[in-house]
Structure 1
Amino acid sequence: MRPRRAAVVLLTGAIAAAACGASAEPPIDLRSRQIGPHTWYVEGEAGAATRENRGFNANAGFVVTADGVVVFDALGTPALGAALLAEIRRRTQAPIRRVILSHYHADHAYGLAPLRVAGAQIWAHRGAKIYLDSEPARTRLAQRRETLAPWIPADFELIEPDHWVDGDFDFTLGGVRFDIRHVGPAHSPEDLSMLVLPDGVLFTGDLVFAGRIPFLGDADSAGWLAALDKLADPRARVLVPGHGTASTDAQAALRLTRDYLLDLRAQMRQAVADLLPFDEAYARARWDAWSGLAAFAEGHRANAYAVYLEMERESLAPPQPPG
């Protein structure tokens, strides 16, 4: 892994102002919605990250306790991270203790710097170590610098966490309990969820998408389906997806993502069994159930191809012994 840059410009605290000042656009104003006695979340737009929406297409949340604030995810640009910090400060002046990062994809992690400058410690799963120094991470960073300029500055670099975690853990802060679960590899190797008790609010990260098609990338779709079963916690009163509106019906919230993955796997598995090349398989498939959802045009074909390759690998895998 490349060395950490101790003097990265992002950590000076001026990066968000520089990003906003480089544009004629007004400052980003996020408004949070309260979904529990201690818990708020902000909701991004439904589609892909664009210069027009300033990269704000994902969700983040925060929990205010008697001993400080816990944040879940950090949004997709330094300016958005600063706007999230400003919204937290609008609700409370309590110190920000931790950021629990669901995973290191751009739309959830590029806003970390202002929160770290404010004093938060960043906690992430150890599975992200490989991604942080990978070609996909470098490709995504270059793409975001181009498509989200000036919101992603030219000198932007990913920030590593202060604490790597290896699996499930719980902690209590200010009388509020946090159950952190490693439910990957699924959408990413490191997927973490956070259940806030006693509020009954479950933050799922990108294991759940609402109102738009999921993003698969190099996801493990079989592992993802298993992860969705792990999220079915009866203590969850409200489910906050990585993208889309929070829901008080957890099973309904899980349904779109599960049905989408099952349909992709079924259609691409049949295509592989029929020895169809991907282009022909994609053209023949029925996508009516998904074509009206946000981000379909931007992401669905790539999702289908990723699952097609996954089905090829599964078809070539040796059979597992019973038991």
Structure 2
Amino acid sequence: MQWSYVELRSEILRVLSLVLVLLFISATPTHASDDLILKPIQVAPHTYFVQGLPEMGSSKNQNFISNAGFVITPKGVVVVDALGSPALAKKLIAEIKKLTSQKVVAVIVTHYHADHVYGLQEFKRGGAKIYAQGEGRNYISSETAKQRLIASRIDFAPWVNASTNLISADVWIDQNFILTVGGVEFKIGRVGPAHAPEDLIVYVPSENVLFAGDLVFRGRIPFVGNADSKGWLQALNEIESLNPSIVIPGHGAHSINPIEDIRFTREYLRYLRQSMTKSAIDMDPFEEAYRQTDWSEYEGMPLFRAANRMNAYNVYLSIQAE
């Protein structure tokens, strides 16, 4: 086989990246402290969730920065999102076993971001069927996903390591879908592109609970990334139209007053768009637009320094592309 220069360079870089990861993992103490405890919070008769920390992912917190929830039915447990490492997923499975003898039969992925999916392999190993929106196929086969996993094996070692893999869904959903387990309906709605191209929401009418994924953030600055902010605002309207009693967000405490608590995410997105629109359309420098914006309402919140500038820049670029 004859390699072109570009192919050879790419292969060398790939091998070097793998070697660096393996060297790092082998140098990481196997006795890393594991004192992180998951505490399921009951929000409805058969619905629970665990609340991630309002931090950046790290080895110390095992990438426990997002929420995951579950509903116990007479014929099995349905989990929504799988947390940010296999170690966390194992802990969640152990907590579920304390509450019921029913097995986890399904996992619904709200979107394919690392902090929500690196635990999938543990649920798959236990026999659960994975459900996700069809656009997720594009992500898991992308170079971005591969490089993110390589970096995560370093950043979150030893909890994310060479044995951690991206898991494809068993069922790809391309339109609204109803999953019924033990007589309990899970109404799965496609609302992306919004926070991610493959966003799903999960409404459980019998519990009057809605799992909103990362369409709703509470208690910290949202992560906008490459989101479609206009689509995200429309998705929030759709969540409100369902009028759930309880909303479990992707990050932060659950809400028993969804209309009020969704307002924070909506107003933050609106403020980003309002602050960046004129400069984006007029092609004025981003740094000038950012410097002139009053961020005082948000700058005291967790992850403001880590996320806000990037959020504003991505909204600035996306407005130019609209």
Do the structures match in fold with TM over 0.5? yes
Aligned residues: 296
The amino acid that maps onto 1:41 is F
Separation of aligned partners in 2, 1:86 and 1:28: 13
Q: Tell me the residue number matched to 1:6.
A: none
Q: Tell me the residue number matched to 2:96.
A: 88
Is it true that 1:293 corresponds to 2:307 in the alignment? Answer: no
Q: Tell me the residue number matched to 2:83.
A: 75
The amino acid that maps onto 1:219 is A
Deviations 1:124-152 (A, max 9, x none): 11011111122321232122122111111
Q: Tell me the residue number matched to 2:46.
A: 38
The amino acid that maps onto 2:123 is L
Check conservation: 1:211, 1:244, Cα contact below 8 A.
Answer: yes
Check conservation: 1:28, 1:79, Cα contact below 8 A.
Answer: no
In structure 1, which of residues 132, 140, 143 is the aligned counterpart of residue 140 of structure 2? 132
How far the C-alpha of 1:234 sits from its partner, in A, is: 4.5
How far the C-alpha of 1:39 sits from its partner, in A, is: 0.5
In structure 1, which of residues 245, 257, 272 is the aligned counterpart of residue 280 of structure 2? 272
Q: Tell me the residue number matched to 2:118.
A: 110
Q: Tell me the residue number matched to 1:56.
A: 64
Unaligned runs of 5+ in 1: 1-19, 315-323
Is it true that 1:203 corresponds to 2:211 in the alignment? Answer: yes
The amino acid that maps onto 2:96 is I
Separation of aligned partners in 1, 2:30 and 2:68: 25
Separation of aligned partners in 2, 1:105 and 1:23: 28
Deviates more, 1:70-79 or 1:138-147: 138-147
Deviates more, 1:171-180 or 1:100-109: 171-180
Separation of aligned partners in 1, 2:87 and 2:35: 8
Deviates more, 1:127-136 or 1:82-91: 127-136
SS in 2 for 1:240: strand
The amino acid that maps onto 2:214 is D
The amino acid that maps onto 1:310 is S
Deviates more, 1:129-138 or 1:85-94: 129-138
Check conservation: 1:28, 1:83, Cα contact below 8 A.
Answer: no
Separation of aligned partners in 2, 1:66 and 1:112: 23
Q: Tell me the residue number matched to 1:3.
A: none
Separation of aligned partners in 2, 1:62 and 1:27: 23
Deviations 1:246-299 (A, max 9, x none): 010011121111011100011110222443211222122111111111111111
Q: Tell me the residue number matched to 1:255.
A: 263
Q: Tell me the residue number matched to 2:292.
A: 284
In structure 2, which of residues 95, 104, 107 is the aligned counterpart of residue 99 of structure 1? 107
The amino acid that maps onto 1:176 is V
How far the C-alpha of 1:306 sits from its partner, in A, is: 0.4
Matches within 5 A, 1:124-203: 124-203=132-211
How far the C-alpha of 1:21 sits from its partner, in A, is: 8.6
Is it true that 1:217 corresponds to 2:225 in the alignment? Answer: yes
Deviations 1:178-237 (A, max 9, x none): 111111110011111111121111000001000111111111011101111010145411
The amino acid that maps onto 1:245 is A
Unaligned runs of 5+ in 2: 1-27
Matches within 5 A, 1:226-265: 226-265=234-273
Check conservation: 2:32, 2:158, Cα contact below 8 A.
Answer: no
Percent identity, aligned pairs only? 45
Deviates more, 1:244-253 or 1:269-278: 269-278
Separation of aligned partners in 2, 1:135 and 1:265: 29
TM-score (norm 2): 0.88
Check conservation: 1:23, 1:150, Cα contact below 8 A.
Answer: no
| Runs of 4+ displaced beyond 6 Å | none
Check 1:27–1:161 CA distance in 2 against 1; reply closer, same or farther (3 A cut): farther
The amino acid that maps onto 1:124 is A
How far the C-alpha of 1:120 sits from its partner, in A, is: 0.5
TM-score (norm 1): 0.88
